[in-house]
Amino acid sequence: EGSSACITHQDCPAPQYCSAGKCVSDGCGPGYWCQEIQEIGPLAGTSYCVRRENCTRNSDCGALGAVDCIAYGCFDECLANPGCETHRYTCLPKEELPCACLENTTTATGACSDADYVCQSPTDGGIWPIGSVQQIGICTSRQDYFQ
């Protein structure tokens, strides 16, 4: 049920989020929201509870103390395994990646743009193409993350 006008998710009080210009809530659990996952194809028009993405702080996730906004780096798995034959999009917590922001590109929060985020291959030591890792905040329950 909509409560107020919004442009971004930050315009809404947690656990509500912005959908079609209105702050809404749904039956999804903390750290999730109801979203359509395909615009075309067999799942088009159907909404599912999916993890909240693009968070920047824990309060974006709802359920403070149980769900945290974790910084992830997402990339094509074949970057880490040069001989692979099947491309798969993989996301790992940023502290698990051999990556860093280029010198003098970090913001006050310690972040940088994807174009300034450089990663070294764990297999051959080479540098992955600039911008090949997408940085994203994903709401993750503490139970899932700290196991």
Tokens read off for 38: 């395909």
Q: What's the alpha-carbon Rg for the chain, to the nearest Å? A: 17
pLDDT digits (tens, 9 = 90+) for 55-113: 888 888 876 778 899 999 999 988 877 788 888 888 999 889 889 988 888 877 678 88
pLDDT for the residue numbered 134:
93
Lowest mean pLDDT among 65-69, 115-119, 143-147: 143-147
pLDDT score for 1 = 44
Place of tokens 């359509």: 36
